[in-house]
Amino acid sequence: MSNQIDQLSTNQEGHLQIGGVDSLELVKKYQTPLVVYDVKAIRDQIHHFQKVFQDNGVDFAVSYASKAFACIAMFQLINQEKGHIDVVSGGELYTAIKAGFPMERVSFHGNDKSRAELEMAVEHQIGVIILDNFHEIDLLKDVLEEKQSHINVMLRVTPGISAHTHEYDQTGQVDSKFGFDIQSGQAKKALGLVLEDDRMNMLGIHCHIGSQIFEVNGFEMAAVKLIDTLAQWNKEVGYVAKVVNVGGGFGIKYTEEDDPIAPEMFVDAIVKAIKKRTAETKLPMPAIWIEPGRSIAGPAGYNLYTVGSRKDVPGIRSYVTVDGGMGDNIRPALYQAKYEAVLAKNPKAPIKETVRIAGKYCESGDILIQKQDLPATQPGDVLAMLDTGAYGYAMASNYNRNPRPAVVFVENGKSQVAIKRETFEDLVSLDEEFE
């Protein structure tokens, strides 16, 4: 039995318990497929991050990367814990507005912000816009002039650090669609354009080297590179940064194969590296911002499915099919991401077989877990897939015209709906008749 499974909470009946609520009771009340978040796990991880900064005596912001999972309830939860959020679209920003989230604690990312999105950000006076390219600088300049307004900005730079992670998750290297390249001088040119515009207040710089990273050295190297860049800018044009944002990407444990350190240990290493290099370069100590998404939402999430059909291929393998799949968790198909699952009625039951867990979507690649050790299962049993809180529902689709599942928050033995289950009527609500 893996450590992941061994650490799961169970009740007196032996059923998987989430946030003090029996998982089978959740299924009875809300049906499947169902996405469940343990709210306490989210709060606890935010507190772990905050404590690292407090212990190191530095100004900070823990900015939740809402692309991992966004909805009104999630933003309101982050606000309760005095967190910041970063958004990457007009839709995420609009959700934050509807949630009543304090706009001064919102950062706006993205490599192709539209004029309409920038107008929304300026109108609502969000905390900072992270500029990603020269086109964006020009657009924002026009918007600010038109609206006779001002806004805080930062520059996203590519430090040339290649994180040890999946190719598609590497965003800090030079050959990237994101950010201004430091090496070629693009970043310095962007700095000049921002500084000459009185309507833009240049807070600092930002980088993001990748996702699902297990080693601290990449973050330490990136932190040093950012401070060295700021030292050069200070020497050349007298610029002093108020904020250094090192992004996120802190890896979490999905299966026994994963061996990450605690997410807050990454942050401790980053803070110490920045403090040291800042002192060496004789720069004022900036505030340090981080943008964890996966490490906050991922371990807190569970996907509950009902077992349906089974196919046994003699001498090869057995398939167990559930009532969800790539429509609610595309990561296994997209990234070959690995997860673990348990039988909800008895997660610690003796293992009887190894099966392939398949989804219901009409694609041969709709496989949620390639090899999963399980007790014997029957149609109607509930499987709980673990650590699904990041980039699951956030990337969900209506492929095959399947409605997206409900999302439920649980805490202290109580549950509440965060996102309603889509209906068939919802699926056709935007359709128009053909004439």
339 is in an annotated binding site: no
DSSP one-letter code for 392: S
Residues 309, 357 contacting (CB under 8 angstroms): no
Structure tokens at 145: 């002039």
215 is in an annotated binding site: no
363 is in an annotated binding site: yes
Residues 132, 190 contacting (CB under 8 angstroms): no
Structure tokens at 106: 């919102």
The neighbour count for residue 51, using CB atoms within 10 Å, is: 13
Q: What CA–CA distance (Å, rounded) separates 11 from 180? A: 52
Contacts of 104 (CB under 8 A, 6+ apart): 125, 126, 127
Residues 331, 393 contacting (CB under 8 angstroms): no
292 is in an annotated binding site: yes
391 is in an annotated binding site: yes
Residues 290, 63 contacting (CB under 8 angstroms): yes
Q: What CA–CA distance (Å, rounded) separates 227 from 383? A: 48
Catalytically active residues are: 362
Q: Which of 31, 6, 39, 69 is nearest to 305 (CA)?
A: 31
161: helix, coil or strand? coil
421 is in an annotated binding site: no
432 is in an annotated binding site: no
Annotated binding site for pyridoxal 5'-phosphate: 249, 291-294, 391
Q: Which residues are annotated as a binding site?
A: 249, 291-294, 331, 335, 363, 391
Q: Which residues are annotated as a binding site for substrate?
A: 294, 331, 335, 363, 391
